[in-house]
Chain A
Amino acid sequence: MRRHLLGLALVVGPACAAAQGVRVTGVTAVQGIELRPLVYDSIAPYFTVGAGEWRLTPDGTPARCLPNADYCVFQRSGDRIQAAPLLQDLSFSSWGIGEGVSVHVDLRGRTQLTTQGLIYPRSDTHFEVMDAYADVDRPWGRARLGRQWIAGGLGVYNFDGANLVYRRSRYSVEGWAGRALEAGLNVGYSSAELAAIENLPPDQNGYIVGVRGRMRPNAVTSATATYQRVLVADRSGLYSERAAFDATTRAYGVSLDMALAYDFASGAWNEARLRLGRAGLHTLGVSVEARHSAPFFETWTIWGAFSPVAFNEARATLDWRPGSVPVMLSAHGAYRRYNESDAGFTLRSNGWRAGASALLTGSSEFSGHASYDVDIGDGASRNDARVSVRWNPGAERSLGITGSALQNIYEFKIGTGRVMGLALDAAAPITSDIRLMADVGFYRQLFSNGAPGPDWTQRRASLRLEWTLGRDPGQMGKAQ
């Protein structure tokens, strides 16, 4: 911790002192979360319904009665537990240190204001350096050194190291290398954080090395090829070896997006996606997509050896934005089928999803949104309907109300039920650089078919304060 802070101070201090501009943004977020976890309970066998090992309690809950056992075991919702995680983000940007030189640091602090039985994920990681790098950007390319992350067709990888981009006309080559960090954790592979949650964690750190080539032959066409390895620290093997190819172009009003991701360890295409979109019909947008998806696992886990199978999916979307009415209507539908798993008993091996939504922005102050989605597949299915109305009396000021009705259907467990919800949210500026946002939700679970399950009836709330110090470097789309 001290080492982290000292390192940061050494980087940020001189950077701020020498910079033409410094901008600091902060987001403070507090959440209130409730949960009723499933707990084990027991019941005397003679109170159960049925016979044999699997029986039911009088209220329909499955209970397991092992032979010759004095009691049967079942699960029910336990007492309500609560948590109030507090997250604090701080972002420093300083620029103008030299020609094209800037320094960026993103920090996150976490704690829990109260812990009544529930520990919010990662809230015991009190301090995290999400990124901290110096950036030199010139017309010929860009160099970046420090903690950073690279996003592309392989997903998001963070690492401590260097990244270099060389640009020439319509082509660029990028390379990166450094100490690999666990995705989304910002810790090394052999860290205690991973070991705390996984009983077979990797015992060595990893090093990442990757290269990416990009070409943009014209204004609407670009393609990127990526190759990346994460090496085991002692170079005895690889945690991953992957490649990706992404391309997008447009012709005759039709856009084409393609994404391929290949895993050399399993020999599987983790992602193969081809999407054709026609958005040139003035108010009508149409797209069709074919997708092949297989999960990816690094080789420090055993999961890749379990031969996960892929699914193939076809999807279509339709967006309609009539010019005369300030409404945007959308609909989508998709069907997927899993490859043969060669694993015995037949379970559902297909799925489909569909949905429709309408966004009404008739007035500059009021807007409305309604949506319905259904997703039927193996493992779990759901129906989800939502309606919301938002009032924006001024810039940065808003008040919204959302009603929702959700049905969960689990294939692998009991607990079918509906959750009805009502949520309110509001945002208001305190000053031009400080903004307060809050939301509160009330949810009630209604069990259907006499099937009990985890009770999601609860209240949730969050409060978020955003503030900014320093002037805008001019990038309006950037987080402020």
Chain B
Amino acid sequence: MKRLMLIVLLAFVPGLLSAQGAETFPHAKHAKLFPVCSGCHVGITAGDASRVFPPAAQCQSCHDGKKQKVVVWSAPAARGAGLLTFSHPKHTERSADASCASCHGTNGDRSPWMNVGRAAQSRCTSCHTHQASEHYADDNKCATCHRTLVSASALTDAKIAALPKPSSHTRADFAQSHGAAATASTEACATCHARESCARCHVNSGRSPTIASLATDARVARLAATKPAVYPVPSDHKDIGFSLLHGDAARTNTTRCAVCHARPSCATCHVGDGAAKVIALLPDAAEAKGRGVQLRHVATPLARNVIPVGLARPGEWIPKPHANDTTVRRVRVHPAGFARGHGPAAAAEVLSCQGCHAQSFCKDCHVGEKVGPRRYHVANFVTGHAAEAYGRDTECSTCHNTTAFCRACHQQSGLASQGNGRSIGYHNAQPQWLLEHGRAARQELNSCASCHQQRYCLQCHSDLGWRVSPHGPNFDARRYANRNRQECLRCHFKDPLAGK
């Protein structure tokens, strides 16, 4: 606490000591002495900067230590060019009847003599009628009274940083909508902004005529360097399918993309030749002025997978340069659950898989052994894989050779049949299994084959066995035989279709 107070004191005391009062000359106390303003400020109406304030000797004519106490006063240094472009000579010329008090009087012309202060902004607008009621409204013509920030050389960095923010700039959609207003009236922007203000965010600021019409300013550049770029997400980008659909929008209006994105954004996903012509229209990293949106490719969460180890790939977790930084975005090309249903999309090739993925990427899963960095199944999937295999939510044989992979393990774990139909084993909870197994086999034959070899079934379903036909009522023997007639002889002693 003490340390905090000390810091506060250190910060404020020098400021207070060096501060100059807003009213250094007590005009009201001298009301009876000066009949006209021009007695002291003759240079104002004449446009003579050296005579805007009276010389110190003029004060000393009274404040000589005898008539009045001695005062030390000196004319303030010339302010230099501020934001205001007000000209006293021009205004006094055009309004001959305008008195100083009409603007500087605390109550206009009705003010008591020498009760003066800074001219109120309302005095300007009483003549220079605003289209809008608010001083900082977007449609006001700032240049009437203000010069551009770049030409306001007297403004310090701190003063520029403290310039008031128009209410329109705080609107939620301002970042997305300010472009039109800026194009319509760049002059208004130039009152408070320089080119660096725009280049802070606009990647393509070097190509924008609107931005190029603003002059550069070292003070603004310094200030911009300390502020993070802000990239609110456009509403259409929030669409879950945007990553798949953005191509048309990009082709139609690449300039819009280039506001926030440089080519590296696209290269996050577009690694092939696809969209190369459109991407080439964007600024490259060297040309990009603003920081730009930094896209990071994120692996798509699997349908029902715990966050896999493999998700934590390069670019997945990115430290942000600022707490509220909006430049770094994670982008998922594929929707959640894509791994389960990617077959049709991959087969139809609506997106070119090979544009981003090598074949080895597919092999991580489709070769069916857990070697690659990605993991399709959840940890300990093997414990509960039976329901998955029976239900065929995804087809095991797409990745595994079910004959070798499944049966080898089932045999070693004691699950696969190792004897004949009278042995006790997997189906021990079904005393009537012999009668029931037909339906189970028809429904889940691939699961049967993950344990049983073919000869096991031929014990009954062949000419060598009990000659129980396994064929269903709709079995088309001729169709089958036309493909592989030799296969019929696995079960039949002689060709059952011979002569038919």
Contacts and interface: CB of A to CB of B under 8 A. Distances in A.
Given A184-B405, A279-B241, A378-B390, A199 B479 contact: no
A149 B390 CA distance: 27
B414 A38 contact: yes
Contacts of A183: 397, 401
A257 B345 contact: yes
A185 interface: yes
Contacts of B76: none
Given A307-B471, A478-B361, A283 B240 contact: yes
Interface string A150-190: 01110110000000000000000000000000111100000
Contacts of B304: 355, 357, 371, 373
Contacts of A219: 247-248
Contact of A349 (B345, B392, B400, B443): B443
A38 B454 contact: no
A155 B397 contact: yes
A328 to B, nearest CB: 6
Interface string B401-420: 10111011100111100000
A246 B344 contact: yes
Given A39-B414, A237-B484, A345-B438, A222 B350 contact: yes
B141 interface: no
B446 interface: yes
A460 B386 contact: no
Contacts of A248: 344-345, 348, 350
A388 B307 contact: yes
Nearest to A367: B307
A396 B312 contact: yes
A183 B404 CA distance: 10
Contacts of B335: 277, 279, 285, 319
Interface stretch (B58-66, B255-263, B427-435): B427-435
Interface in B325-345: 335-337, 341, 343-345
B98 interface: no
Interface in B206-256: 233, 235, 238-241, 244-245, 247-248
Contact of A419 (B380, B405, B479): B380
A450 interface: no
B485 interface: yes
A454 interface: yes
Interface in A421-480: 421, 423, 425, 427, 437, 439, 441, 443, 454, 456, 460, 462, 464, 466, 474-480
Select the residue from B248, B349, B380 with max chain A CB neighbours within 10 A: B380
Select the residue from B347, B362, B363, B378 with max chain A CB neighbours within 10 A: B347
A352 B108 CA distance: 84
A250 B240 CA distance: 14
Contact of A380 (B233, B386, B412, B441): B386
Contact of A382 (B245, B271, B361, B387): B387
B369 interface: yes
B400 A303 contact: no
Interface bracket on A: 35 or more
A362 B447 CA distance: 41
Contacts of A39: 414
Nearest to B269: A477
A96 interface: no
Contacts of B182: none
Select the residue from A296, A307, A311 with max chain B CB neighbours within 10 A: A307
B18 interface: no
Contact of A156 (B366, B384, B445, B447): B366
Interface in B349-396: 349-350, 356-364, 366-373, 378-380, 383-384, 386-393, 395
A375 B389 CA distance: 11
B60 to A, nearest CB: 68
A220 B350 contact: yes
B317 A37 contact: no
B138 to A, nearest CB: 27
A354 to B, nearest CB: 11
B336 A239 contact: no
Contact of A273 (B344, B409, B486): B344
Nearest to A412: B427
Nearest to B296: A395
Contacts of A441: 379-380
Contacts of B271: 474-478
Interface string A199-216: 110000000000000101
Interface in A221-255: 221-224, 226, 232, 236-241, 244, 246-250, 253, 255
A302 B401 contact: no
Contacts of A297: 445-446, 449
A282 B240 contact: yes
A118 B344 CA distance: 38
Select the residue from A305, A419, A464 with max chain B CB neighbours within 10 A: A305
Contact of B349 (A66, A222, A303): A222
Contacts of A266: 476, 479-480
Select the residue from B344, B372, B427 with max chain A CB neighbours within 10 A: B344
B385 to A, nearest CB: 9
Given A121-B405, A193-B404, A27 B387 contact: no
Contact of B424 (A73, A93, A317): A73
Contact of B336 (A104, A319, A382): A319
A160 to B, nearest CB: 15
Contacts of A275: 341, 344
A349 B390 CA distance: 12
Contact of B442 (A37, A343, A402): A343
Contact of A345 (B422, B436, B488): B436
A348 to B, nearest CB: 9
Given A122-B405, A427-B312, A300 B372 contact: no
Contacts of B414: 37-39, 75, 78, 454
A286 to B, nearest CB: 10
A87 interface: yes
A12 interface: no
Nearest to B248: A219
Select the residue from B271, B314, B371 with max chain A CB neighbours within 10 A: B371
B469 to A, nearest CB: 9
A185 B404 contact: yes
B446 A295 contact: yes
B128 interface: no
B301 interface: yes
A392 B383 CA distance: 28
A24 B157 CA distance: 54
Interface string B450-475: 00011101100100000000111111
B343 A246 contact: yes
Select the residue from A118, A264, A479 with max chain B CB neighbours within 10 A: A479
Nearest to B415: A38
B383 A419 contact: yes
Given A377-B390, A379-B390, A200 B454 contact: yes
Nearest to A445: B383
Contacts of A402: 306, 379
A309 B472 contact: yes
A197 B474 contact: no
5 interchain residue pairs of minimum CB distance: A307-B472, A38-B414, A184-B401, A343-B438, A477-B356
6 contacts: A87-B369, A247-B344, A307-B471, A308-B442, A379-B444, A475-B358
Interface of B: 233, 235, 238-241, 244-245, 247-248, 267-269, 271-272, 297, 301, 303-304, 306-307, 309, 312-320, 335-337, 341, 343-350, 356-364, 366-373, 378-380, 383-384, 386-393, 395, 397-401, 403-405, 407-409, 412-415, 422-433, 435-436, 438-447, 449, 453-455, 457-458, 461, 470-476, 479-480, 483-488, 490-491
Given A305-B480, A384-B384, 15 more contacts: A62-B429, A104-B360, A219-B248, A220-B350, A246-B347, A279-B241, A285-B336, A297-B449, A299-B484, A321-B240, A334-B393, A347-B440, A347-B443, A412-B433, A414-B429
